[in-house]
Amino acid sequence: MFTRDIEYTDLGGDYFLERTGKTRATRRLVSQLNRLGYQVNLQPVETT
């Protein structure tokens, strides 16, 4: 913003997920939960 003299643009809530990919984001979030003391078992959601 300051170096290029442009206005701030909010990238949205899903920006990080879209940029890093679903698999990497999942690993990161599971790792964070493990560090907080939780054991995580993931199961895919069945869609109808």
Task: Render pLDDT for 6-18 as a digit per residue (tens, 0 to 9).
Answer: 888 888 888 877 7
pLDDT of res. 39 = 96
Query: pLDDT (tens digit, 9 = 90+) per residue, 26-45?
Result: 899 999 999 999 999 999 88
pLDDT of res. 19 = 79
> How many degrees, rounded to 5, is the angle at CA 47 between CA 39 and CA 20?
55
Name the percent of the chain lying above pLDDT 90.
33
Decide if 42 contacts 30 (C-beta within 8 A).
yes
Of 36 and 47, the structure prediction assigns the larger pLDDT to 36
pLDDT of res. 6 = 85
- For 39, list phi and psi in degrees, rounded to 5: -100, 130
